[in-house]
Amino acid sequence: MCCDNGTTDAQRRLRQEIEYLQEENRRLKGTLAEHNRMQSDLKDSIDELIQVHRYSQIITSTLNLDDVLLSLMELVRQVVEYRVSGVFLIEEGKAGLKLISPRPIPKELEEKVRFQWEEGIIDWVLQEGRPVVFPDVEPTEGSEEHRDGRNFIVAPLLAKGKDLGVLILYSTKPRGAFTRQEIRLVSILSNQAAIAIENSRLYNRLEDAHTRLKASQRQLIQSGKLAAIGELASGMAHEINNPLQIILSTVQLMIMNLREDERSIKALKIVERNARRIAKITGALLDFARKNDVESITSSMDVSTLIRRIQSLVQYQLQAADIRLRVIAEENLPPISGNAGQLEQAFLSIIFNARDAMPEGGELVIEIKRWGDYLRIDFVDTGVGIPEENLSRIFEPFFTTHGERCKGLGLSVSYGIIQRHGGTIEVESLIGHGSRFIVKLPVRR
């Protein structure tokens, strides 16, 4: 009996030990499974971080907006399945959305996105600050196999606390099939793209500002040169004119007194002719140096009429040089304020410069159009072009590439006239393809 009880107690303890070991085994298996799951999650997280880092490097590696958008589209396609994608930026003052995608999207989809904006859906997504998936209640026409699961993924583009716009993905994937990881990666990519887009916009603004600054600096330098040379030219012209008038008067008096001495009169006529030539040069110098009063620039005029009058004046000369002249003017152009004689002189100088640049003939086109608060007059020739090293000097007095037959004052005088009228004059040129002189004059208010 005692042995039986002892055996029973031993069996009971053995069963308890076995149950304990089984429970411990289950616990260890659970711990191992949890460890394996954590390892798997950690691996997935590391892979995701590596992937995000790689995506970020690709998206932010360029300041070109089209390259940023193309990279974004390709990278998002590796994350989530979609049929059409688009990037819409919010216009200033939240006036609407502007599509900036490098690839076109169907018109009906674009209209649906704009409807979402008007109904406040996109604004709600921006307030949420995360991608949102919602169904397309009115599917776009297409094959029947895709009608059951068409969804929009709208991901906000946020940069430095600023709402730039949204990334729109149109997908046939069922709404419940999108994983949290996919949506999270879309969110990360859209945020990275927003930063790259903002950087690209800032860079473009900086480039524009730098370009305008360089143009302003060139104008200031040119104005300084013209002012200094203008003073010198004015002084020289007056100093030359005084003795020149004495010479001319003396020569004319000698011609009158030597009526019968033809040989002497012929020599004196040569002196008179060259003295008058000097007078013309000094007159050009004075025209260049003269500062017109504001009162002289008050008359209203139609630039198209002025240009066509000039066309009638130079038509014969240009035809003789085998140059075709065309004038293209927009209708209903506003008038400008200015001195017609001075502007005519400025335009003639540009036209004659174009003529000299086409020794074998060619074509000169004068285009006149509205340009914001300015009238823009383009003089486009098919001449030999201007070397790049000369572009910054062509408006300098006495600078010329046309040899001794040209005094080099025409374009510098034109520059001064246009500037005094509140306008600008620029030049673009390509060797062998001609030049474009761009004149902008403020319209009359």
Q: Is 20 helix (H, G, I), strand (E, B) or coil?
A: helix
pLDDT digit string, tens, across residues 150-177: 888 888 888 877 888 888 888 888 877 8
d(C-alpha 263, C-alpha 253), whole Å: 16
Sign of torsion over alpha carbons 392, 393, 396, 401: negative
Alpha carbons 325 and 313: distance in angstroms, whole number: 12
User: What residues contact residue 116 under an 8 Å CB cut-off, 6+ apart?
Assistant: 122, 152, 154
Q: How far apart are CA 232 and CA 19, in angstroms?
A: 114
211 falls within a domain: no
The domain of 392 spans 296-442
Task: Give the CB-side neighbour count of residue 20, counting CA atoms within 13 A.
Answer: 6
Pair 303, 430 in one domain: yes
* pLDDT band for position 292 (cuts 50, 70, 90): very low
Q: Are 382 and 434 in contact (CB under 8 A)?
A: yes
Judgement on whether residues 233 and 313 belong to the same structural domain of the protein: no
Residues 261 and 196 in one domain: no
Q: 302 and 419: one domain? A: yes
CATH code where residue 156 lies: 3.30.450.40
**Domains in the chain: how many in total?**
3
In whole angstroms, give the CA distance from residue 19 to residue 21: 5
The verdict on 158 and 126 lying in the same domain is yes
Q: Does a structural domain hold residue 230?
A: yes
Looking at the structure, tell me whether residues 420 and 311 fall in a common domain.
yes
Q: On the CB side of 151, how many CA atoms lie within 13 Å of its CA?
A: 18
* The CA-based dihedral angle spanning residues 338, 444, 351, 429, taken in that order and rounded to the nearest 10 degrees: 130
CA distance 377 to 161: 44
The residues near 191 (Cβ < 8 Å, ≥ 6 apart) are 157, 158, 159
Torsion angle of C-alpha atoms 18, 20, 21, 23, degrees rounded to 10:
120
Residues 268 and 390 in one domain: no
Q: Are residues 148 and 229 in the same domain?
A: no
pLDDT given for residue 335 in this prediction: 92
pLDDT tens-digit series, residues 327-369: 999 998 999 988 887 888 889 889 988 998 899 999 999 999 9
pLDDT at res. 214: 72
Q: For the chain, how far is it from start to end, CA to CA, in angstroms?
A: 127
Q: Inform me whether the pLDDT recorded for 204 exceeds 60.
A: yes
CATH of the domain at 390: 3.30.565.10
**Residues, the chain, total?**
445
Report helix, strand or coil for 163: strand
Of 242-256, 322-336, 401-415, where does the model show the most confidence?
322-336
CB 153 within 8 A of CB 131: yes
Check residues 337 and 280 and name the one with the higher pLDDT: 337
User: pLDDT band at 46, cuts 50/70/90?
Assistant: low
CA distance 209 to 203: 10
Residue 368, C-beta contacts closer than 8 angstroms, at least 6 positions apart = 303, 304, 307, 327, 328, 329, 330, 333, 375, 376, 377, 378
Same domain? 268 vs 326: no
Q: For residue 133, give the nearest of 193, 177, 191 by alpha carbon.
A: 177
Residue 287: name the closest of 348, 332, 330, 335 by CA: 348
Is residue 140 one of the residues assigned to a domain?
yes
